[in-house]
Structure 1
Amino acid sequence: MKVLDYTALILTITGAINWGLVGLFKFDLVAFLFGNLSWLSRIIYILVGLSGLYLCTFFSRLADTNP
C-alpha cells in the first residue's frame, strides 16, 4: 500500500507543479514533454486526477491514526 501512496503523492505533486506553471507562465509542462493532448499526455492527466482522488482517502486514514 505504501508504494501506491508514494506513487499517488508524486503524481499529485507533479500535477500541482504543472498547474502552477500554467497559472504563472501559461506553460504546460506535460504538453511540452509529451505533446499537446497526445495519448500519453492524456494518460498522465488521467493518472494525476485519479491520484488526487485517491489522496482524498488520506483524510480518513489520518483520522484513524491520530487520537
Structure 2
Amino acid sequence: MAENTDKSEAVQVTAADLPLHCPQPGAPLWARHPRVFLDVLKEGEATCPYCSARYVFTGERPKGHH
C-alpha cells in the first residue's frame, strides 16, 4: 500500500492490508492518531473518523467474506 500524502485521494487497499487500520504503519508523525480499525469490505470503502483518510478496497476479496 502506498503512503497517502494527499488526503483528497483514496488509498487503495487489498486483502493483504486486512485487517485495515488507520494510521498505517510508517505514517508520518503528523498523521498519527489513535489506531482505529476500518471495515472496508462492508461497502467497498471506509473513511477514518480521525483524519478523514479514505480507503477503497480493490482486488479479490479474501475467502469467507461476502
TM-score by length of 1: 0.21
Q: Which has the larger radius of gyration?
A: 1
Tell me the TM-score normalised to structure 2 length: 0.21
